Amino acid sequence: MQSDSIKRAIPWMLSLAVLALLPVTGLLRGSFLSHVLVMILLNASMAQAWNIIGGYAGQVSFGHSVFFGIGAYGAAYAVTNLKMTPYPGALAGAVLAAVLAVIIGYPTFKLKGHYFAIATFAIVEVFHRLFMIWEDVGGAVGLDYPILKDGWRNFSWSRSKVGYFYGALILFGIIFSLVRALEKARFGYYLKAIREGQETAESLGVDARRYKLAAMALSAAMAAMCGAFFAQYNYRVDPSMVLSLDMSMRFVLITILGGIGTLWGPLLGAAILIPLQEYTRAYLAKLGPGVDLVIFGLIIILVMQFQPKGIMGMIDAARKRRRKLAAAGNEHEGGRQ
């Protein structure tokens, strides 16, 4: 069994290694392409973080921009106000996000119905307003980074995006490896069972509330790590950048488009939406703010119309069709012999 799981890990490790070699090939010399790649990796990681609670455990959260924001502010606060490296700030942000996640989940997971979704919806507005008036973190202006020396110590690179690319790749590697392991473990089975039937899961000894809380805390902490990266990458943070419903919807939409509750859905969703968004941004901006979201909303509605399980669902269906055809073909040949 041990060697089995090692064997299973080989393609995944190889893909990470191939991605890690990209900068060496010189393909990333153009900074726009590297920017798009960084954004794909970041958004895939964000969607995957959301996927833990929203996809596997089936509890839809609209509050992930808050966890994301807490991580972003954590890193930025450590750098700008405390003159430290961003790492302790990111870590503190992750812990605080997990604590907040438990505070929201504890009362609402007890209730049946949509209380959890509503509560996560509400905190976005609450935290946006809070950070707008919180002088210590710059209020509406937010926090601007000073000029820092390039490198891993400050997690900041001004001349090329290669450093950020590796940073995003590490983030992506950690979050996807985590969910990959979780999917095959008791934790993942229990989350799926809770999603498919909480009472059934409980009849099998699953403390559903505890598992949902654990999933929520893990998901929030991962979202906060993504937020910390986002602050580092933009060299600043302000309330509207992170603490918005738009940002929350990003977590949800990418996952749904790619395939909710699947390992590769978040990556597929990001790999399709982000280039589309980055390449059409300049053009769409002329039409007014939020138009891009409307268009992406439409794309997602269209996809869902045909396949509620997103692009992963389409791929699965195509695979099944092919297998069926192959089986029919074999039978046919067998018949002739």
Assess 321 for contact with another protein (CB under 8 A). Answer: no
The residue from 11, 146, 205, 289 that contacts another protein (CB under 8 A) is 205
**Contact range with another protein by CB under 8 A, out of 24-32, 78-86, 193-201, 313-321:** 193-201
Least CB distance from residue 307 to another protein, whole Å?
A: 14
Total residues at the site for another protein (CB under 8 A)?
A: 21
Nearest to 148 by CA among 69, 226, 232, 70: 232
Assess 197 for contact with another protein (CB under 8 A). Answer: yes
Q: How far is CA 42 from the centre of its chain?
A: 7
Assess 119 for contact with another protein (CB under 8 A). Answer: no
* Largest pairwise CA distance in the chain: 82
**Contact range with another protein by CB under 8 A, out of 33-41, 104-112, 206-214, 269-277:** 206-214
Assess 7 for contact with another protein (CB under 8 A). Answer: no
The residue from 12, 87, 134, 189 that contacts another protein (CB under 8 A) is 189
**Contact range with another protein by CB under 8 A, out of 94-102, 194-202, 294-302, 310-318:** 194-202
Least CB distance from residue 322 to another protein, whole Å?
A: 17
Closest to another protein by CB, 26 vs 205, is 205
Least CB distance from residue 46 to another protein, whole Å?
A: 24
Half-sphere exposure of 270 (CA within 13 A, CB side): 24
The two structure tokens encoding residue 131: 């950070």
The residue from 81, 158, 200, 330 that contacts another protein (CB under 8 A) is 200
Assess 100 for contact with another protein (CB under 8 A). Answer: no
Cα 19 to Cα 22: distance, rounded to the nearest angstrom? 5
Which parts of the chain are beta strand (E)? 143-144, 236-237
The residue from 56, 164, 190, 233 that contacts another protein (CB under 8 A) is 190
Contact by Cβ (8 Å): 115, 108: yes
Which single residue is written with the structure tokens 């937010």? 142
Closest to another protein by CB, 206 vs 311, is 206
134: number of Cβ within 10 Å = 14
DSSP string across 166-204: HHHHHHHHHHHHHHHHHHTSHHHHHHHHHHH-HHHHHHT
Half-sphere exposure of 77 (CA within 13 A, CB side): 20
Residues 166-185 that bind another protein (CB under 8 A): 184-185
* DSSP H stretches of helix in 286-309: 291-306
Nearest to 230 by CA among 171, 274, 270, 183: 171
The residue from 37, 53, 169, 201 that contacts another protein (CB under 8 A) is 201
Assess 319 for contact with another protein (CB under 8 A). Answer: no
Assess 192 for contact with another protein (CB under 8 A). Answer: yes
Cα 203 to Cα 39: distance, rounded to the nearest angstrom? 43
Percent composition of the chain: helix, strand, coil (DSSP 3-state, to 5): 80, 0, 20
Rule CB under 8 A: which residues touch another protein? 1, 184-186, 189-190, 192-193, 196-197, 199-208, 261
